[in-house]
Structure 1
């Protein structure tokens, strides 16, 4: 008889919980799907079953319900530029959502990006920041240029006809991974040396990103290879700290192995920080270069403007042009900003928890403890700030006042948790685009599998966009 009581009690508990979430929860007045108000699995359904379709669903819901929607029992998503800046740019009273970051960080829980406590994150970021200062980046510019030179040689010698075209997504991923590993560790992954760019790290990139958002530990070959490599290097440095003085240039371990006024980091922390630096340091720059190159080759007018400006400023292409000199080129700068805007960066909402002293978000007073977020895609594709947002148009950045445009360019996030590698990323973008369009003459290979446009509706949104199609190019002999 008693065994019948347990199902009854379980059903009754679920019924009461459902009634509370639908009619008595502090967020019950916000619009959204009934199922989303009942369970957090609503979001998981669109990421897992619908294959990265969460942001697309959010777009539909915002069109139906307005700028604020309830997407979980205790979660709101916004589509308002003011709300984005209230949450991220000025949101010092909000903290990272531990549920999201603990799940996302199962492969690197002791890295700074996963820390939800602002003070703990600030201390760790303080250790790493010196390696990514503008001064440090400029002093190590030669390491970036060396890898770019290797890519240009590879394209010129190995991919120089329509029958020998290369996927630029793979080429740029190889380049940015080699740059970040060389920059941070003075030991390059040397993916550009892999025949046909078939290194396991590249082959596993898309699956890694999917597993990241699906909350599954990425026990795949590339991850294990990288982990083993960092472990060997860290073990060697712990055993013989003096070897740090023998490396080619300053590395991340110079800052992490002997932190000032802090306890020494564990080996797990060192490995996790290394892994995240490589993953984050290769993604946004690689995607931006991939997207920007496509539009430059697709639209001759854009390509010609780039080439003309670069030829005038850089008459002898056989002599390197510095990052600081490239920064002064207005059209190249506008092109890079537009490539960053269209390539989006991280698109999954970076969840934050409202605190007791949090001011209004998007003009609304949100109950403390509420999880809030907004995908940067809604910021980048806002037609009120970026007219005709799905058109790749560098000229939009050539107006006299771009302050509002820059405020809403969030490829590296905003505020106190902004990407640490921001200075390095900008340096890479100037040097890569500058060298590609000054020293090579690339040709876009058009096939039935070539992507038409890098639009938000042309990709699956996991942590970052995963485009359904790619494109291939080959290097023509320069005149």
Structure 2
């Protein structure tokens, strides 16, 4: 073989290939570097990562775009994917490159410990919430604890008991509006009333004033619809944090021009902030005692925790959490009680044992004597948690060690890794809750140990600070409504009747936007009220 001729041919062929010149060299090198980087990233995430042994869909382990597809493009559907992963792979699965999801109620207290253990939140969770600086969006453990302590005294049992007259007053207004609708046997979207009532209570407690939605003909629907539009950006903000920062930095007047559908919500944000400033400037010691933000401004928090920007976020959190989750529980409870006459009669029989006078709103003392009412509330929140998104945490100091007892496999989640449990996943665990889809309040009385799987108000040192107030509101409103109204069976008198309400379409969670959403086109809970 003529090797010299062969070498000359190869060299001439190489020279014939166009060689990158100037800027083309940089493009060529950038492409090569990018390809190399993504190849290494994929190999690291799938093979070299400490989480590579944890089962789950390979695409979920490889890229965040897998989650983004289901959350952003499909609209809050990733919770279904996670549940399917658990059915296929077991109680611990990897749901994105740096997050592990658990489904084992007996492990809840390890993942969500009390005050003795540090638990952080990932930064992206703060941006997804849209309330930077609020306690739910505070990532670092010690800062969160400091800010939470300034709020917690206002939601203690004693503090909430002092709100009893305010709650009674608003429940009375709610009943009055229901009676007005009953004059002409109107079909009412009852959840609007519940949102209005819950909003007026929490806003009055927070600022000493409210929007008085219960007095408005439309119950403040434009505000709540604008809030739903804002909430619809949750997953977009989670996937693209720069958009969240841009939205937060955009002036309110410009937001209203760009998206008129959120105008009422932007106006409410400005109202909250103005109320905070008004309280700051008033110097009224009574407001410090009687309002949440008066107390925060007069607390020992450092000045950087009392800025207008942070307190505006805290105000948004307090109001949205106080109105939305409470109204959701009430809506779900009324549906299930009207759809299950036997359970409703049990509740009415119990109410009759402690409410001996024709009093419309039972006292807190009377409500405390109603175990079946408490069981109804637990069961409703189990089936329909008001905050259903994954409750993400980070253990900054210690690894999380979990043993899958059925498979005999131990998994180690390194410090700094995001992990989570979804409330609805825990609540639908058939090993804990027999017939988990069914509404069975009695289970909470017969088997109190099932509370270990309850995540309806969060858990551990970052659990819901307003749980006591929410339970009091739900209990007072439910008891008052069903003391006054009976289930319609064709009889005369004050009655309620479900109207074109389907559980799977109108009540159950069809999408996860931190809060649950019904199916598209749903009009929610509709009830015909008769006087």
TM-score, length basis structure 2: 0.83
The answer to whether the 8 A contact 1:291-1:454 is kept is no
Q: Displacement, 1:248? A: 11
Distance 1:464 1:362, change over 3 A: farther
Query: What is aligned with 2:30?
Result: 6
The runs of 5 or more residues in structure 2 that have no matched partner are: 1-19, 238-243, 249-254, 256-261, 405-410, 487-494
Note the alpha carbon deviations across 1:150-199, whole angstroms, 9 max, x for none.
1110011124444x211122221111111111122221221112223243
Query: What is aligned with 1:331?
Result: 372
Residue 455 of structure 2 corresponds to residue 407 of structure 1:
no
The runs of 5 or more residues in structure 1 that have no matched partner are: none
Distance 1:371 1:91, change over 3 A: farther
- Of the three residues 17, 22, 30, the one matched with 2:46 is 22
Distance in 1 of aligned mates of 2:115 and 2:139: 14
Distance in 2 of aligned mates of 1:204 and 1:185: 21
Residue 481 of structure 2 corresponds to residue 439 of structure 1:
no
The aligned runs of 1:229-268 (5 Å cut-off) are: 229-242=271-284, 245=286, 250-260=290-300, 262-263=302-303, 265-268=306-309
TM-score, length basis structure 1: 0.92
The aligned runs of 1:89-104 (5 Å cut-off) are: 89=113, 93=117, 95-104=119-128
Distance 1:318 1:252, change over 3 A: same
Query: What is aligned with 1:369?
Result: 416
Query: What is aligned with 1:144?
Result: 167
The answer to whether the 8 A contact 1:21-1:73 is kept is yes
Query: What is aligned with 1:69?
Result: 93
Distance in 2 of aligned mates of 1:405 and 1:289: 22
Note the alpha carbon deviations across 1:354-389, whole angstroms, 9 max, x for none.
334245245633222221111011211111111001
Note the alpha carbon deviations across 1:64-104, whole angstroms, 9 max, x for none.
11111111112111111133332114595453332332322
Distance 1:228 1:72, change over 3 A: same
Distance in 1 of aligned mates of 2:288 and 2:149: 23
Between Structure 1 and Structure 2, how many residues are aligned?
A: 469
Query: What is aligned with 2:512?
Result: 461
SS at match of 2:232: helix
The answer to whether the 8 A contact 2:400-2:414 is kept is no
Distance 1:157 1:362, change over 3 A: farther
Distance in 2 of aligned mates of 1:174 and 1:213: 26
Q: Displacement, 1:278? A: 0.3
Q: Displacement, 1:446? A: 2.9
The aligned runs of 1:11-410 (5 Å cut-off) are: 11-89=35-113, 93=117, 95-105=119-129, 107-162=130-185, 164-215=186-237, 216=244, 217=247, 219=255, 220-242=262-284, 245=286, 250-260=290-300, 262-263=302-303, 265-318=306-359, 320-361=361-402, 364-399=411-446, 401-402=447-448, 404-410=449-455
Distance 1:203 1:100, change over 3 A: same
Q: Which has the larger radius of gyration?
A: 2
The answer to whether the 8 A contact 1:82-1:361 is kept is no
Q: Displacement, 1:238? A: 2.8
The answer to whether the 8 A contact 1:281-1:421 is kept is yes
Q: Structure 1 residues 81-90 or 346-355, which shifts more? A: 81-90
